[in-house]
Amino acid sequence: MKHAYTQLIATLRHWDYEYYVLDNPSVSDSHYDAAFRELLAIEAAHPDWVTPDSPSQRVGAEPISEFNKIEHRVKMLSLANAFSLEETYQFFEKAAKDLDIATDTLPIFSEPKLDGLAISIHYDNGLFSYAATRGDGQTGEDVSHNIKTIKSVPLQLATDNPPATLEVRGEVFMPKAAFAKLNSMAVETNGKTFVNPRNAAAGTIRQMDPKIAAGRDLRFIPYGIGDYQGDAEFMAHSQILDYLARLGFRKNAPCDSFLGSFAEFTRNYALMEQVRERLPMEIDGIVYKIDTLALQNTLGFIARSPKWAVARKFPAQLALTQLLEVDFQVGRTGVLTPVARLEPVFVGGVTVSNATLHNMDEIERLGLCIGDSVEIQRAGDVIPKISKVANIGAQRTAIIMPSVCPVCGAAVERTVGQAAYRCTGGLSCAAQGAERIRHYASRKCMNIINLGTKLIEVLYSKGILHTIADIYTLKASDIADLDGQGEKSAQNVLDSIKATKNTQLGTFIAALGIHEIGEESAKAIAKQFKNYPALISATYEDLLQVPDIGPVMAKNIVDFFADAKNQAIVQAIIDAGVNWPDVAADPAQAQPLAGQTWVITGTLSMPRDQAKAALEGLGAKVSGSVSKKTTAVLAGAEAGSKLAKAQELGVKVVAEEEFKKLLANYTSAELL
Ligand code: I6G
């Protein structure tokens, strides 16, 4: 019986290979389904027999609760782009020069650039181990649960002599037909539609529950290897692709090919441009690589991409349509962006009905009116844009920026010298709410460490947080009841809100997110007005007296505090217990460390920004390097070269404990 089970696994694996890798199934779907059901029945009767490479294990995993970070053992690079034949030639001419060989003799391999997402898949002794996204090239995210559901990804390599370690790198994508089917089903069920197959593939891989990926048709085609410990020896990139095909992976055949000579580029590119529309998947260019590994190794890398490979991108695709309307979207920072509503048009494989217009200057530059016939440009996954007015409409209407915010009704203003128009609704505009709360809680502002962006967005979308004042009425149950949270994390959030109630006036002003008022200007304002009542009654002229505060900033501050809703929100925060010491009238008393320069080094138990803010609150300057002019060095654990330099120069070194005493006792500047 066990033997029959092992046989059944081998048979199903072979049928998957025929279907998903060779595109050449030898059995009908119903035959396959019957065998799969038999497998499930055996496994239900003998759970101890189930092996990790059984086809049933592709969807076996439970939903994950978060994406774990994965450090890439070998950096995952991206590719340099070329947008013309000239640029492609230039790329390889430079490579040939660096190699000191004739350009014509470069051995070039060509592969289509699949429009998907790069994934790294690890095998240990031939068995699937884990898979990760590229991320920033150094660190990706563990997406094993979803990658395992892709049938063209072998769970076991097809070899009796597997390498100890193999990292296969390639592209996960959704075929065009699968994308169209997914979207039409989503339309029928009022579900989420995707703008293109690439977004559909990426959106699927970002799901926590592998059942979603298992129900969608994703494919994987490798383009190379990363980490490798095995016996095989490769002389060329094309040999690596052949090796991977022998292990059970798909090849990009017949689209990948070895180009006899450098002059073959033109022919190859023209051919690929022609066949592109007929391919089952979207491609956004052709990748040309120097095939010989020894030459690749000699060339090496520049910044984040290899010097031996380049992606020749297809040009943007164009189509004509009509501009029906322009709406204004209010972004998270209050900027109003005009968005073109278009007569739907099919361009570059997707139907486009909206395009960004960026700002009013762009509309003026294009000479655009509603009713005009326009040219739409779409390049890869970039948001479509209107490239020009193709024909002036018979009936055209001028595009006018609204005078009030479409979300909150507050006045819309344009800052002199800037292209952007902004809503002046401040803290009470719903379109800006989540961003304002994120800014307020961020590390450089109130530093509410456990109230992160994701949590803010969830609380905001559920209507629990509307404004920054609502942070102080949060209850443990508001957080504990959310997916992925619990009693403990809820308490951590409430604790960090409480712990940051004692702050500095400058920090609080910066946290309000008044347009153009950053950390430094907020500090200067606090220093000048010393307390909150003085600040809110300051006039435009008073504000212009503050060093480094210009007319735009002064106006923004006056406007902000003139708004009764903003004042009410700030008052609610003060009533909730947020407080700061007055910056006392006597500068010597208020700023006992005035004129001093401090350097912070090593690991402190408090966040470094907090130590810096505290020192600055006492009047000290905080510098990044130690010199004879340094008054003191605040040294945390494992302090290194800065501490050594301080000792060498005889500069005073203050340990964290001593520093905390100093903070507790404002005026004890004699400590130094
Ligand atoms: O991101 C990529 C897509 C396709 C690649 C790639 C590729 O070859 C067909 N090749 C390399 C070498 C890299 N990224 C770094």
The mean-pLDDT minimum among 17-26, 380-389, 455-464 falls in: 380-389
Verify whether ligand 1 is closer than 6 Å to residue 313 (CB atom): no
Cβ(148)–Cβ(155) below 8 Å: yes
114 beta partners: 283
The mean-pLDDT minimum among 97-101, 427-431, 630-634 falls in: 427-431
What is the pLDDT, as a whole number, of residue 379? 66
Cβ(454)–Cβ(465) below 8 Å: no
Verify whether ligand 1 is closer than 6 Å to residue 170 (CB atom): no
| 442: Cβ contacts below 8 Å, ≥ 6 apart | none
Q: E strand or H helix at 3, and its extent? A: helix 2-16
How far apart CA 33 and CA 56 sit, in angstroms, is: 12
Indicate which residue's Cα is closest to atom 4 of ligand 1. Answer: 113
Which residue in the block uniquely carries the two structure tokens 């500047």? 669
β-pair type (621-623, 597-601) = parallel
Distances (CA, A) of 188 to 73, 88, 179, 184: 44, 44, 14, 6
What is the pLDDT, as a whole number, of residue 254? 79
CA of 215 to the centre of ligand 1 (A): 27
CA of 78 to the centre of ligand 1 (A): 7
Hey, what amino acid is at 442? S
Shortest-distance atom of ligand 1 to CA 76: 15
- Per-residue model confidence as pLDDT tens digits over 271-301: 888 888 889 999 989 999 999 999 999 999 9
How far apart CA 497 and CA 505 sit, in angstroms, is: 17
Cβ-based burial of 36 (10 A; exposed 0-12, middle 13-18, buried ≥19): middle
Verify whether ligand 1 is closer than 6 Å to residue 286 (CB atom): no
Calculate the average pLDDT of the chain.
Answer: 89
- On the question of pLDDT at 407 being above 70, the answer is yes
- Per-residue model confidence as pLDDT tens digits over 128-182: 999 999 998 999 999 999 999 999 999 999 999 999 999 999 999 999 999 989 9
Shortest-distance atom of ligand 1 to CA 252: 9
What is the pLDDT, as a whole number, of residue 670? 36
The structure tokens listed for 508 are 């609080």
For residue 257, the number of C-alpha atoms closer than 13 Å in the C-beta half-sphere is 13
β-pair type (219-229, 165-173) = antiparallel
CA of 14 to the centre of ligand 1 (A): 28
- Identify whether 254 is preceded by a cis peptide bond (ω within 30 of 0): yes
Catalytic site positions: 113
- On the question of pLDDT at 253 being above 70, the answer is yes
CA of 53 to the centre of ligand 1 (A): 28
**Cβ burial 543-568 (10 Å sphere, 16+ → b, else e):** beebeebeeebbbbbbbbbebeebee
Indicate which residue's Cα is closest to atom 11 of ligand 1. Answer: 79
Verify whether ligand 1 is closer than 6 Å to residue 309 (CB atom): yes
Indicate which residue's Cα is closest to atom 12 of ligand 1. Answer: 309
Verify whether ligand 1 is closer than 6 Å to residue 118 (CB atom): yes
What does the pLDDT average to over 551-555?
A: 91
Verify whether ligand 1 is closer than 6 Å to residue 79 (CB atom): yes
Mutate which of 171, 241, 308, 310 to test ligand 1's pocket (most atoms within 8 Å of Cβ)? 171
Verify whether ligand 1 is closer than 6 Å to residue 117 (CB atom): no
What does the pLDDT average to over 265-274?
A: 86
- Per-residue model confidence as pLDDT tens digits over 607-625: 787 788 888 878 888 888 8
